Chain A
Amino acid sequence: MSETHTAEKAPVRSGSQRFRRQRAAMFGFIAPALLVYLVMVIAPSLQSIQISLTDWDGVNDAYNYVGLSNYEDILGSERFWNAVKNTLLLGLGSAVIVNVISLAVALLLDRLNHWQGFFRTIVYLPALVSGFIAATIWKYILNFNFGVVNTTLRDAGLPTWTHDWLGDSEIVVSVLLFLLCFTLGGNTTLIYLANLQSVPQELVEAARIDGASGPQVFRFVTWPMLAGAVTVNMTLAMIAGWTIFDQILVLTSGGPGFISETMAFFIYKVGFGEYRAGYGSAAAVVLFVVVLASTVVANRYMRSREIQA
C-alpha cells in the first residue's frame, strides 16, 4: 500500500517541481528586461516624487526641500489649469474622434472582398510616421504666408478663408485636435478590424433571420461584442492624449502666449527650459495622478459593458 501511495504521490511532486522550474526559467527570461524597466522607468518615476518636494534647478548638485510649496504653486496657477483644460480637450477629444473614425473605417475594411491587404496598409501608414515628423510637415503646410493651404485658398480666390492656423488663439487648439486625429487612427483601426472579424457570424445571421436591419445588427450584436476593443482603444487613445508633447513642441511651442500648452509640454517647459526641475516634477506627479484616475474611472465604466463570449 505504501508503494502505491508513493507511486501516486511521485507524479504530483515531480509535476509541481517542473512547474517551479518552468516558472523560474520564465522569470529568468524576463529578468533582464524587468531590471532595465525598473532602473530606467520605475526608479526615476519614484525619484520624481522626491524631487517634487525640492527647489532643484536640474543642474546644481545642491537643493533645498520646500515641502508642498511646488504643489501649492501649481494648483494655484492659471497657466497650469489652462494646460489641464487643453490636455482634457485634446486627450478625450482625440480619443473619441479617433475611435469613431477608426471603427467606421474598420467596418468598411471588414466588408471588403478584394484588395484587403492594400487598403489595410493605406490605413495603417500614417501610424508609421513619427508624431514629430508629421508635425513638422504640417507646420509647413499650415504656414500662414507660404503654406500650401493658404496659398491654395488665395489662388482659388478665397483669401477670406485663410487663417493663421497655428497662430490664431481662437482656433489653434481645434487645429491641433484635427492634426492629432489625423495620425492616431492606424493601430486603433486594426484592433477594431481584428475584433470585428471575431464576432460570431451565427449571431449576425440569427439576427438577420429575425428581421434585424443593418444598423440594428450593428447596435444589438456587433457593438456589444466590440466592448473589449473599445476599452482597449479608448484607454490607449486617452493615455496618448494625456501625454501629447511632440506636436505641441513643433507646431506652436505652446503659443501664442500660453494658449496651446498641454500638461506634458508645461512640464517640459518649466522643468527643462526654466531650470525648475522641482516644480516640473511636481507637475509630472499631478499629471500621473490625473492619468491614473481618469483611466481607472473610464476603464471601470467600459469594462462593465463588456460581454464575456
Chain B
Amino acid sequence: MSATMRVTGTRRRAVAGAMTVLGAVGLTACASDAADDTAPAPDKTEIRFTYATGDESWNGAVKSVVDAYNAQSEIATVELDPLTGGTDYATAVKTMDATGNWPAVIDMRDTRTYIEAGKLAPIPEGVTALIDDAAYGPAADGSVYVVPSSALNGEVGLNIIYDKAYFAEHDLEVPATYDEFIELLEAIKANGDVPLATAAGEIWPSDQLWKPLAAPVFAEWSDKGGFWAAVQEGKASVEDLREPLDKLKHITDNFVLEGWQSTQDAQTTTLLVNHQAVMATSSAGIGRLNDIHKVAPDFEAGLFIVPDDEGHINVLKNSVNGDTLSGLSISAQAKENGAEYDAAVDFLTYFYSVEAADIIEQSGVIAPNIKLADEITRNTAIPGAEDYFALLESPELVWYQNETLSPDFSAFNTFFRQTRIEMQDGQTTIDEAIAKSQAEFDKTVGQG
C-alpha cells in the first residue's frame, strides 16, 4: 500500500470518526432538548393560546391568567404563543391557517372572514353564560364564535394621555369642547412646548387622533345603520368626512411633535414621560397609564377624550357582529381534536371567572364584562385610572354604533388609514384623499 493511499485511508477514517462523534452529540442534544421541554402531565392536554402582544400591561395580564390557570387545571396546560400585534397580526393568522397550524384558543382579528370560511368553532353556552349578554353576539348562523378578551368599553381606550403636573403648573384644564381642545393646544404651543405626540410608524395608531375627530360624523349615523353602511348604500360618502379630515390636517401641521411619521406607538409614552410633548395619543386605555406608572412612578398622567363642538364625548360601541369584531375564539381545528376543544373550553371558563378577572385587574387591564362583575376587585391604584372610570360615568358620553358588515371593509380600512397619513404628511390634498378613498371604497366594499 502506498504512502498516499495510507494517508487517504487515514483521512477518511478521521472524517468518518468526526462525523460519528458530531452525529452522536447532535442526537444527544436533541434528546436532551426533548427531555428538557416542559411536558404536560400525562393526563393533561397541551394547547396553544395565540394572542397579539400589545402594551406590557396586556402582555402581563395574559401571562398571569395563563400561569394561574395552569397551576389549578387538572385537564389542560396552556402554552402562550404571542405574536406581534399590529398590522402583521393578520398575516400571521393567515399563515397559521395556510399551514394548518391553528392554536386551540386564538385572539382573533378580521373575524368575519374566518367565520364565513368555517375556521372557527362555536363557543358553547357554558362559556357565554358567564359573560354579560351585551358583550357578545351571535353570527348569522346563530352561533357565537368570538367572546371578549377584555372589557368591552368601546373605544373609551382611544384617548389623549396628558401630563397633569404640566397642566397644574400652567393652569390648564381638560377641554370640555373641541374649541377648548384647540385653545389648549395653542396655549401649550405658546409656552414653547410641543402639545401633542402621535404615531404613524405603523398605520393602525393613526386611528388614535382620527377617530375622536370623526366620531361626531359617525355618531350622526348611529341610529341609521352606521356611517360606513350608509356609504355602501349610497346615502353617505367619504366627502362627509371632509370636516374631520380638515381638523386632522390642522392639528398635525400645527401641534404635533416632529417625526410622527416614523414614530412607533410605544414611543409616545417615552416622549410624554421625557417631557418632549405634553400630551400623547393612545389606544391602550388604562393599560397605558399602568405602563407609564411602571417606568416613571412619579409622573402624574391623566386622560381625556377629545369632545365634539357641543361637548359630547362620542365613543364607538364595540361591535359584536361586524367585520371589526375581535376577541377570543376556538379554532375549528381544535374542535376536530376533541381533547383540545375540551381544554379550550375549560380555559375560557376559567378566563371568565372572578378569580381570573381579579388577576387581569391587578395587571392593569380592565377585566372582561362578566355577569359577576360586582364581585371583581377593581384596580384603582393606577394613577390616572380615576379619569378612565369617570369617562364611563360621564353624562356627556354618547355611545354610537358603526357596524361594518362587509368582510371587505378591513381591506378598505387599511387603505383609508394610509391615505389619511399621506394627506397628513402633505403628499396629497384633502380633495385627493377623499377622491381616492371613495374610489377604493366603491371598488372593494361597494361591490360587496
Interface residues, chain A, with chain B CB atoms under 8 Å away: 57-61, 73, 78, 143-146, 164-169, 252-259, 268-270, 272-276
Contact = CB atoms under 8 A, between A and B. Distances in A.
A257 B97 CA distance: 29
A253 B414 contact: no
18 contacts: A59-B113, A59-B119, A166-B201, A166-B261, A166-B262, A169-B425, A253-B203, A255-B421, A256-B200, A256-B425, A256-B427, A257-B421, A258-B422, A268-B91, A269-B414, A270-B411, A272-B90, A273-B91
A259 B427 contact: yes
Nearest to A143: B262
Given A57-B113, A169-B427, A275-B113, A253 B201 contact: yes
A125 to B, nearest CB: 26
B306 to A, nearest CB: 23
Contact of A258 (B117, B258, B259, B418): B418
B418 A59 contact: no
Contacts of B443: 73
Given A59-B117, A73-B443, A167-B201, A255 B414 contact: no
A257 B417 CA distance: 8
- Most chain B beta-carbon neighbours within 10 Å: one of A73, A78, A274: A274
Interface string B421-436: 1110111100000001
Nearest to A276: B411
B263 A259 contact: no
B181 interface: no
Interface of B: 87-88, 90-91, 94-95, 97-98, 110, 113-114, 116-117, 119, 200-203, 258-263, 267, 270-271, 276, 407-408, 410-411, 414-415, 418-419, 421-423, 425-428, 436, 443
Nearest to B91: A272
A144 B201 CA distance: 11
A146 B201 CA distance: 14
By secondary structure, the B interface counts as helix
B94 A59 contact: yes
B200 A273 contact: no
In the A-B complex, the 10 residue pairs with the closest CB atoms: A257-B422, A167-B261, A144-B259, A167-B262, A274-B411, A60-B117, A256-B261, A166-B262, A272-B91, A164-B259
Contacts of A166: 201, 261-262
Nearest to A73: B443
A145 B263 CA distance: 8
B261 A59 contact: no
Given A164-B261, A253-B202, A275-B110, 13 more contacts: A57-B113, A59-B119, A143-B267, A144-B263, A145-B259, A146-B267, A167-B200, A255-B261, A255-B418, A257-B427, A272-B94, A273-B91, A274-B415
A165 B258 CA distance: 12
A272 B259 CA distance: 28
Contacts of B201: 166-167, 253, 255
B145 to A, nearest CB: 14
A60 B203 contact: no
Nearest to B276: A145
Contacts of A146: 267, 270
Nearest to B426: A169
A12 B259 CA distance: 77
Contacts of B423: 257
Nearest to B436: A78
Nearest to B93: A59
- Most chain A beta-carbon neighbours within 10 Å: one of B270, B423, B427, B428: B427
A81 B99 CA distance: 32
Contacts of B421: 255-257
A275 B117 contact: no
B415 to A, nearest CB: 8
Contacts of A258: 418, 422
Contacts of B270: 145-146
Contacts of B276: 145
A165 B263 CA distance: 11
A110 B65 CA distance: 63
A166 B87 CA distance: 18
A44 to B, nearest CB: 11
B267 A145 contact: yes
B414 A274 contact: yes
B114 A256 contact: no
Contacts of B426: 169
A60 B261 contact: no
Contact of A168 (B114, B261, B415): B261
A164 B262 contact: yes
A61 B116 CA distance: 10
Nearest to A165: B262
A279 B309 CA distance: 42
Given A145-B267, A145-B271, A255-B203, A164 B411 contact: no
A152 to B, nearest CB: 16
B262 A60 contact: no
A252 B262 contact: yes
B442 to A, nearest CB: 12
A272 B271 CA distance: 33
Contacts of A165: 262
A291 B17 CA distance: 48
A146 B276 CA distance: 11
Contacts of B267: 143, 145-146
Contacts of B408: 275
Contacts of A73: 443
Contacts of A59: 94, 97, 113-114, 117, 119
Nearest to A249: B88
B418 A60 contact: no
Contact of A167 (B97, B98, B260, B271): B260
A147 B333 CA distance: 44
A168 B425 CA distance: 8
B437 to A, nearest CB: 12
A143 B264 CA distance: 10
Contacts of A257: 418-419, 421-423, 425, 427-428
Contacts of B97: 59
Contacts of B428: 257
A259 B422 contact: yes
Contacts of A78: 436
Contacts of A273: 87-88, 90-91, 414
B422 A167 contact: no
